[in-house]
Structure formats: structure tokens, C-alpha cells
Amino acid sequence: MTTNHPRADAAGTWQLGDLTVNRLGLGAMRLTGSAPFHAGVPRDRSQAIAVLRRAVELGVDHIDTAAFYFSRLRSANELINSALAPYPDGLVIATKVGPSRDSSGGWAEPARPDELRGHVEENLRQLGRDHLDLVNLRLMRRSSANLAEYFGALAELRDAGLVRHLGLSAARPEHLTEARRIAPVVCVQNRWGVDAAADDGMVRACAADGTAFVPFYSVAGEGGEAGHGAAQDARLREVVRAHGASVAQIRLAWTLHQGDHVLAIPGTGDPAHVTENVAAGAIRLTREELRSLDAIRRPAS
């Protein structure tokens, strides 16, 4: 199918290990409902599937998901499997392990190192794959304090062929240094955005050796799981008006301007928003606009 809409390669590509992806991808968390996890109304199944197919149609080849992305009636992994399998060549599916939820949706105790294989196998089963392209270890209190044990367990699964590449999530620069001693780290996923808590040290640490930095909530900002609110900084609104764009598009454009190694994985449950988000990769901000948007940011707490 032909389309006149900008495609996901408009912002260029980056390497996740030996895998080339377009810098504009898709986050799967919001596929499951109008609010994340068990909150809100379950997403219409056909609409969620349409989001995934529209994303791939527009050239998105990097989808971020997790087995714990599920609501009362929907599982992100199952939706991805139903919508896209057999998977197109070049599609990279990244997932996360560490956190765990019970069948009622409540958060359970985070995994122990010896339980990470079960998390990986759960993702494999739900996605219908024999290996995972990329697994991010989501760091929490226990795994942060015992990183070598946790990341070492994933490195063993990589050696066994169940996982192709490894990354970190919610990490600090010292975590990245420690993990690299165990196995290659192809990406770091941290919360970051134009008006979210700055994490510039990690962005620089990733840039130093070509590790991808993949921020989450780059559109939602301080709204986090709830999404960005109606109130926006005047400087942001000015740039929005100058480009005839949406707030989400300018947030994404700013993100993609922060370095070739910075990727974006905006999440949505609306096919029209997929088209809008992908189009953000073609927006070119001026130096003056970037300086104005940079002034919105606040230091990390």
C-alpha cells in the first residue's frame, strides 16, 4: 500500500547490536486499555491490532513490549502476535524482564535471578518466537544492588540463544559500566523528555560508545502513565504553532534531535496517532527552537 505520510525512516536509523532499526518506533503499553495495566476501559481489540499494522505499514520496525503489559482483557504480547505474525523480516521486538504482576493485575515481588529464564520464556510463548531480539533488565531495588547476578543470568540466556541482545532500563551510568563488564549492552531505557527529569549523564554515557538511549514517557512527560496533560509551557506551545504540529509531535521531534543514538518509542492505542507520531520524525527544529525547548527542562531530582 502506498502512502503520502512521512515514514518511520525520516529520522534515520540506529544499530541495536547487529540490528538496524528506524529511530522512531512504537511502545506497546497503551495497546491494552485506555489507561495502563488494569485501570480504565480495555482497548477495542480490532483497534489495537490496527495500531500495530498501521505502524508497520509506515515503516516502524522497533516495537517495545513486556509480558507485564496486560489489562483485564488484553495482553500486549498476544496482540502483537495476532496482528503481525508471521513477523516481517527486519522487525525488532524488544521486551523487559524483572517486574512481575499476578493474575489480578497487582504487582508481585520482582523476579530473582533464577526466575529471569521464566520471564524470558513467558515472552517467547506469548509472542510465538524461538528467541527474543532484545531483552532489557528493568532495574529495581534488589536487581540494582545485585546487578552482576541479574545481568549475568540474562547473559547466560544470550549465550544459550534464547536472547539476541541485552539492555538496561531505569539504570544509572554506574550500572551501565558494571553491566558492560558482563555482556554487551545495546541500549538503555530511562524516563526522559523535554520537561521530564533530565538524565543527560546517561545520554552522554550511551553516546560515548554508540549505545542506544531509548527514553520512555518522552511524550507523556511528567504525566507518566496518565499521559501528558492539557497544560503546556508557553515555549512549547509557541513551537507547536510554528510547525502546525501537535504537542506530542514536538515532544518527539525534540527527543530525536538530542543525538543520533536517541530513539523514540511513543505508545498509543489510536491508529491516527500512530501516523501523527511517525510524522514527527520528519520535523526539523531550528537551533532557536531547540534552545527555547531546552529552557523548559528541570534538573534531575
More confident of the two residues 167 and 218: 167
List the chain domain ranges: 13-230+256-282
What is the CATH code of the structural domain delimited by 13-230+256-282?
3.20.20.100
Query: Ramachandran region of residue 214, left (φ > 0), alpha (ψ -120 to 50) or beta?
Result: beta
Active site residue 87: no
Identify the pLDDT of residue 37: 59
pLDDT band at 1 (very low <50, low <70, confident <90, very high): very low
pLDDT tens digit sequence for 109-166: 889 999 999 999 999 999 999 999 999 999 998 899 999 999 999 999 999 999 999 9
CA 143-146-148 angle, to 5 degrees, is: 105
More confident of the two residues 196 and 294: 294
More confident of the two residues 279 and 106: 279
Identify the pLDDT of residue 25: 98
Return mean pLDDT, the chain: 91
Residue 172, class by beta-carbon neighbours within 10 Å (0-12 exposed, 13-18 middle, 19+ buried)? middle
The catalytic residue among 69, 87, 150, 217 is: 69
Mean pLDDT of 214-243: 75
pLDDT tens digit sequence for 51-83: 999 999 999 999 999 999 998 888 999 999 999
Whole-structure pTM value: 0.93
